Amino acid sequence: MEGMPYIVVRSHLHMKGTLFEEARKIATKITLTTAEELHKNGFDEITVADSHGSMINILVDNLPEYIELVRGYPRPLSMVSGIDDCDAAIFLGYHAKFGTAHSSFDHTYSGASINKVKVNDTETSEFLLNAYVAGELGVPVIMVAGEAQLITDDVQKHAPWIETVALKHSLGRVSARSYGIPRIEKELKTSVEKAVANFKKHKTKLLKTKKPVKIAVTFMASHFADVAELLPIVKRTDGLNIEYTASNMTEAYKTFELLALASTGMTAILDQS
């Protein structure tokens, strides 16, 4: 949601927010435009993984019959749940990692608890985390549409063969500029057509990391690391930092998802005390 056009304030981002319904309409419009163009270009079935917050954001009233919607959280592989049955992936509404200047709602997975995530010593965004999982499962990411700074910092750096659409150009953490929906739709359709053509011509690549996979996490506060080190495979390196090693990216991702959920639980406990 944070990388979608026009999304600039917190009330866009949560279910009780006054602008949440506007954000849902925007996200649904972007998703359906992309899915319809994929369908026109030969994809008979499309899985949409709703992946923001509680993961119940996409409006379901007008979903075409060829779309299968994955919603709700927690679930296996979180944002890329269901990707193992797909031929290719497109990431929509993606945003830059935490600490990125002039980038709306910059964060990495959990803005409340996680400062930084490294995969084999490479600092990652949600794009890179999810692309590594997809690559390990043999699924190429063929297109990314989202915040412009993410495209510059991560997509073009790590996967320059991926087609991209900048849905917004941020002016700061809570401000951005975006073109009108007709122009965005045109750019999405053009990018999908190019991405599918590249995929069919085998010009796309799998984005992978080496095995075993070393994960290092820097938390926002020490009590999150307190919880994380209860897991036997986790090694605490200082007040805010932990690390662990997994045999593959899928296993590493699931463990990271568990640590993020544990941090959310810790926050709930503190809020009640």
What is the model's pLDDT at position 273? 85
Cα 132 versus chain centre, distance: 12
Average pLDDT (92-97) is 98
pTM exceeding the 0.85 threshold for the entire prediction: yes
Q: Determine the average pLDDT of the residues in 23-39.
A: 98
Q: Would you place residue 128 in the very low, low, confident or very high pLDDT band (cuts 50, 70, 90)? A: very high
Residue 103 pLDDT more than 90?
A: yes
Fold of 10-113+125-200: Rossmann fold (3.40.50)
pLDDT band at 219 (very low <50, low <70, confident <90, very high): very high
CA distance 49 to 84: 12
Pairwise CA distance, residues 143 & 191, whole Å? 7
Joined together, the tokens standing for residue 20 give 């949440």
Domain spanning 213-272, CATH class: alpha beta
Which pair of tokens denotes residue 57?
A: 């954001």
The one-letter amino acid code at 265 reads G
Average pLDDT over residues 143-158: 97
Mean pLDDT of the chain: 97
- At 108, list the tokens: 């990495």
Q: Are strands 89-94 and 213-219 parallel, antiparallel or unpaired?
A: unpaired
Q: Above pLDDT 90, what percent of the chain?
A: 99
Are the C-beta atoms of residues 102 and 171 closer than 8 Å to each other? yes
What digits encode the pLDDT tens for the residues 221-254?
Answer: 999 999 999 999 999 999 999 999 999 999 999 9
Long-range contacts of 72-80 (CB under 8 A, 24+ apart): 74/257, 74/261, 76/254, 77/133, 77/250, 77/253, 77/254, 77/257, 78/51, 78/253, 78/257, 79/49, 79/51, 79/126, 79/130, 80/49, 80/130, 80/133, 80/134
Q: What is the pLDDT of residue 176?
A: 98
Query: Is residue 119 classed as helix, strand or coil in its secondary structure?
Result: strand
Q: Where are the domains of the chain?
A: 10-113+125-200, 213-272
Which residues neighbour 4 within 8 Å (Cβ) at sequence distance 6 or greater? 23, 26, 27, 30, 92, 93, 146, 167, 168
AA letter at 23? A
